[in-house]
Amino acid sequence: MLFREFAQLCEYLEKFSERTKKIMTLAETLRRLNRKYVRPFVLLMTGRIFPDWQQKTLDVSWSTIAHIIINMLKIRREELINAIKKTGDVGDAVKLLMQGRKVTRQLTLFSFNKDITIIDVYDTLNRISEISGEDARTRKEALLSTLMSMLSPVELKILVRIIFSDMRHGVNVGIMEEAISKASGIPLELISRAHMLLGDLGEVAEIALFEGHRAIKNVKIKLFRPIKPMLAQKAESVRDALREHGWETAFEFKLDGLRAQIHKKEDNIRIYSRRLKDVTVSFPEIVDLIKRGIKASEAILEGEIIGIKDGKPIPFQILMRRVRRIEDFKKYAREIPVEIFLFDVLYVDGEMLIDRPYSQRRKILEEIAVGVKLIPRLVTRSVEEAEEFFKKAIEAGHEGLIAKKLDSDYSPGTRGKKWLKIKRVLEPLDCVIVAAEWGYGRRRNWLSDYYLAVWDEEKRKWVIVGKTFKGLTDKEFEEITKELLNIRDGSMSDEA
């Protein structure tokens, strides 16, 4: 498939909003594709270059893209900014600026006679992601500039959107899963499940279209390919949780730590965060503990890593210093000792356990975790016992409880009532915005990351307590951006 055809399809999909029409169009396209084009097509169409589980990033900034465009089109920076304001989209702005202009093409990547395919684009972006070391930014820019110079206006528009993961054609993962189901004739629930287990929708599409129903049904978890964690819905009280679960359930302490998915194959141990980031290097003592304390050759485990000081858990934000500041690792390892408490097992010695009930998984975990602590648990039908257990969790410095239905399977990447979280009800807190950052991607024209502060009466100053970037509509982001800029400009005028 030529990248020109891919770009034209993206523009076509952008013209209408009907979900069913998008699914049918994508399904028809998938059926026509040669196998080697399927995976890059699915990933790029959903605004992805890498599958969810891969520890890779393109690491190309907005300033790099702007620099390439300005040099390639021989325009001033102000022209690019004005075009973005006019169109509301970087991709549309680049297309507008490129139309009617002569672009100096480079010959170091493709020949003039070669049509650029989606594989050419996909492979080039992967090559860019692998560039590191001295002058990495310069080399990344040179390779990307060469590719961009070979593209037509519509192709360049779509490439820029891929880079910023902002496709604007309404094709999300859910729609693509339905299109794969329609094209292959395989039920949607099997496509979704395979995607959750493999973490690569492009690979799922390839298997579905060319290997069929049985191959999709037999998809298994793969070691060192982390899967999205199962999540819990909120419950107002332990009574509500018991009622929802049929008046008998398992309650576990809810710890305020780093959700860890641990993959073990003999002495090879990797630790992944909730966002599937490899954080192994930050927790060498946990690696050693898993090597010694798990009696299985292969395993995928889930647990919570918490920082401990004076016998009490420390806030999550302090724990994360060990993850974010690798250069000062020895210092923070001394200052922030950690413990891990396991609470689930998803795979042991070749057998996938996610379809087993929670009660069986916990029993298996108890059998293999002979030298690693398990999260405190209570199985009960009693509201009074559950409330007393909740009280113990709070007194120990934890957030509350997680209620787990005894017969529940493990559903990767989903949030449902099989797991329910019960936390303390806190008083509302009035905060003010004391700083803000410009967003990126779809939010690049708004101040969308806000630093929140409260007034410290003793020190007589504002103290930052957190940062937020969720929960607002596009209109609210736009209104707050205008208000914050007015406040900034007004204060600057006062100082002047």
419 — phi, psi (to 5°)? -120, 130
Q: How far apart are CA 359 and CA 352, in angstroms?
A: 15
The residues assigned a catalytic role are 254
Distances (CA, A) of 310 to 142, 307, 313: 53, 10, 8
For the chain, the three-class secondary structure string (H helix, E strand, C coil) is CEHHHHHHHHHHHHCCCCHHHHHHHHHHHHHHCCHHHHHHHHHHHCCCCCCCCCCCCCCCCHHHHHHHHHHHHCCCHHHHHHHHHHHCCHHHHHHHHHCCCCCCCCCCCCCCCCCCEHHHHHHHHHHHHCCCCCCHHHHHHHHHHHHHHCCCHHHHHHHHHHHCCCCCCCCCHHHHHHHHHHHHCCCHHHHHHHHHHHCCHHHHHHHHHHCCHHHHHCCCCCCCCCCCCCEEEECCCHHHHHHHCCCCEEEEEECCCEEEEEEEECCEEEEECCCCCECHHHCHHHHHHHHHHECCCEEEEEEEEEEEECCEECCHHHHCHHHHCHHHHHHHHHHCCEEEEEEEEEEECCEECCCCCHHHHHHHHHHHECCCCECCEEEECCHHHHHHHHHHHHHCCCCEEEEECCCCCCCCCCEEEEEEEEECCCCCCCCEEEEEEECCHHHCCCEEEEEEEEEECCCCEEEEEEEECCCCCHHHHHHHHHHHHHHHHHHHHHHC
